[in-house]
Structure formats: structure tokens, C-alpha cells
Amino acid sequence: MHIKPGEFFGIIGKVGCGKSSLVSAIAGELYRTKGANYTHGSISYVGQTAWLQNATMRENIIFGTPYDEQKY
């Protein structure tokens, strides 16, 4: 994989397909058994963490906005 300086890219895929592992390997946080990793500049990674409020399902869906039956 080669990403040119200044390019923006995203990694998408199904759950459990290795997206986070690929980013961890690029960032040097995953043990490598072979190959090389060259990075220039800064790398950012924002992992997704699922969470729910300690509230009802409705409150988790509307998230503090007024209840609108049509939208709900």
C-alpha cells in the first residue's frame, strides 16, 4: 500500500475484517513479523466505542431532542 503525501484516505469494511489491526500496524502499535513500515508526518486514529446512556431506548434514540412521534 502506498499513500502519497497530502492524500486523504479511509478504511472501511465489515466488523472483524482487520481495519483496526491495519491502522495499528501503520501506527507501529502492532507487532510485525515481516515487511516494513515507513511513515512521514503525523497519523491520527480515532477508534469507535459503542455506548449507551443510562436511559430508556427512546432517550438513547432522540438523544435529548424533543420527542417527535413522526420522526421516532
The H or E element that residue 47 is part of is none
Amino acid code (one letter) for 20: S
Q: Is 25 exposed, middle or buried (0-12, 13-18, 19+ CB in 10 A)?
A: middle
Query: For residue 51, which phi and psi values (nearest 5 degrees)?
Result: -155, 155
Q: Is the pTM of this model over 0.75?
A: no
Tens of pLDDT, residue by residue over 21-30, are 888 888 888 8
Tens of pLDDT, residue by residue over 34-45, are 888 888 777 777
R_g of the chain, CA atoms, integer Å: 19
How far, in Å, CA of 48 to CA of 26, rounded?
18
